[in-house]
A and B are shown apart, each in its own frame.
Chain A
Amino acid sequence: MTRDRGVHDIGGTQGWGKVPHSPDEPPFHNEWERRVLGLMFQVLRHTATRPGEMRYALERLAPDDYFDHGGYYGRWEAVMELLLEEYALLAPGELDVLLGAKEGTGPAHRASRVAPKDPHKLPADRKTPPPNHRTVRRELVDPPHFGVGDRVVALGANQEGHTRLPEYVTGVVGTVVKIHPAEVLPDSTAHDLGERPQHVICVGYRAEDLWGNESEAGVVVNVDLYENYLTAVEEAA
């Protein structure tokens, strides 16, 4: 990949082979994958508890650890090490020492640090009624700025750090398909900068607008975007 995008942000990238598909694939292929699943939920309670925090930790892994450390559950193993070190529940390199390996063998050593984010470049926080159970959904008094059928574009993140805006729709004009319930903004919560809840706007993109001449006919890609990502597009009369 030549573009300056996160390791995880791979939608629409090229050069990949066939999907390793088998219809009856079991959820686990070996015992350690099962253990990782079981461990993760306990580790998360002590570490990444904010919405977006664990995803952002995954996004900060080195490409080798993200793609080539045993796949999905290997990526989870790596992110547990990273989070446990960042929350000081493991000393840096503690697992390496235990394994008799050179310190810095582990994935936490290779991961990127949390990027500093300027809260003034995020949308303002808004008070919402506290939910009566654990959820990312919030009740916003202000109605959404956009309605179904509106033409919109996401111009791109204005700073480093976690976002849920995929690169492949950035700068492409789409049409609002639906408005989902409002949620806290992961771009903010992942960085511990408050909830800043947003309406969530489902935007439909025509394949020809995303991929140009190479696109397949009759394809629409629908992407859920936080309202602050979007700008209205004035159509020429």
Chain B
Amino acid sequence: MSDQPILEVKEVTKTFGGILALNRVSFHVNEGEILGIIGPNGSGKTTLINCITAFIKMTSGKVLFRGKDISGKPAHKIADMGVTRTFQIMRPYYSLPAYKNLVIPLYSPRAKRTGGWRGGGKLGDRNTVGIDILEEIGFERDSFVPYKMASTLPTGYLKRLELARCLALKPEIILCDEVFSGLSMSEIASMVPLIERLQMDGIALVMIEHRLRELFRVARRIMVLNFGEKLIEGIPEEVMADEKVKEAYFGSAEEIEEDMSHA
């Protein structure tokens, strides 16, 4: 059982009209592993997460979660199985205080089923459970931050709130869409241990990132996407040394020379 990957993506293809956004992308995530996905802008990283979690329909391909085919299921069913995601552009409930934001995921069928959150579940008070989760994710419990309206929170807290929404569901795997982007160096520095702790709790993570140095601290396996195609997969050092990856990020050597001659 343990050698079976928790998430297996097989030849996922997505076309928007005539544009090939994802071309037969395949990869897998092992139990409790952190997989980093990197690639230049527009390479299809977010589209890949959207396809896996059914927020957009994939054109063809298969997604297996613990060996079960989840492609074609609606988004809320997939989240219900424990495959959760964060959004790159944060999607909190702006009109509610931060801790009330967590009442909604805690009300979901999955949270009711998995219960377990210290007095949570069927008869528990979701407000207290919500504040507990916020504390775990780095909101200062005794400050007024958890009680502030989500619309007044800074980006750093909203990114945490995104993760907290996933945690409220007791996820088996979290697909993180750029949790480090838009954060200051010190905020990222405090996020990294958080990610490490999630991994120690046995949650598998897929992380889309542009902040490579921080990503390489937590992820030991990296996949590179370019123009919707998988370029390479491997350990960070190996991947960054690859010629194709350099070309995708910086353009090919000939192109650079050409640009230089124009300048």
Q: Do A and B interact? A: no
Please list the residues of chain B having a beta carbon within 8 angstroms of any beta carbon in chain A: none
